[in-house]
Amino acid sequence: MTSILGLSGSLRRKSFNTGVLYAASDLVPAGVTIDARTIHGVPLYDADLEAEGTPETVRALREALSAADGLLMVTPEYNNSLPGVFKNAIDWIGSGEGAKLFAGKPVALIGASPGGFGTILSQNAWLPVLRTLGARPWFEGRLMISKASGLFDEDGRLVDEKTRQRLAEFVAGFAQSISAHDA
């Protein structure tokens, strides 16, 4: 069984990226699970707060990452870069005792945007962060979902069949790469 922690970097209700994450968790191949989570409740990083003890939301994300074989980051793109709230959550997870959790961890990046270029710049902006954390980014696949406004229903569910197929293939490829590396 391959377990993947899926983390949406958006706080918006009916977020395209959270919708993509939930769709991914429904489209996994046999023998694969995605633990779909968001970054809601993660406070702004503050070393004084950390000195008082790790916030429960951060502790839960660290535990989920520790238990997972890989990490699927579903990232929005804000101002041609990564979202500050998502970076903040990753900073918290990787701080202090969490630093070792990313070492060698397979990580895949995907994202959806209402714009025409998907999340290419956000995904690229994550690469130096993942390198610094010692993660193992998966470069064999790339998925950027553009013009997302027309791909979801009114409840935020991904309904476009072509995009769902691309997402299923991406998740299957990432899971296969995790299994092949661990074998």
Neighbouring C-alpha atoms within 13 Å toward the C-beta of 108 = 27
Q: What is the pLDDT of residue 142?
A: 87
Q: What is the pLDDT of residue 35?
A: 98
What are the distances in angstroms from CA 15 to CA 79, 93, 117, 127, 170?
Answer: 17, 22, 17, 23, 20
Query: Which tokens sit at 162?
Result: 């072509």
Nearest to 63 by CA among 15, 123, 3, 12: 3
Sketch out the chain's domains with CATH numbers. Answer: 2-182 (3.40.50.360)
- Residue keyed to tokens 């710049």: 121
Q: What is the pLDDT of residue 180?
A: 86
Annotate 117-142 with DSSP letters as a single string.
TTTHHHHHHHHHHHHHHT-EE--S--
Query: Which tokens sit at 58?
Result: 């951060």
Q: Are 17 and 112 spatial neighbours (Cβ–Cβ below 8 Å)?
A: yes
Nearest to 109 by CA among 86, 79, 132, 84: 86
CA distance 119 to 144: 6
Q: Is 115 left (phi over 0), alpha (psi -120 to 50) or beta?
A: beta
- Residues of the chain with pLDDT below 50 are none
Backbone angles phi, psi at 22, to 5 degrees: -65, -35
What's the predicted TM-score (pTM) here? 0.96
Residue 37 bridge partners (DSSP):
7
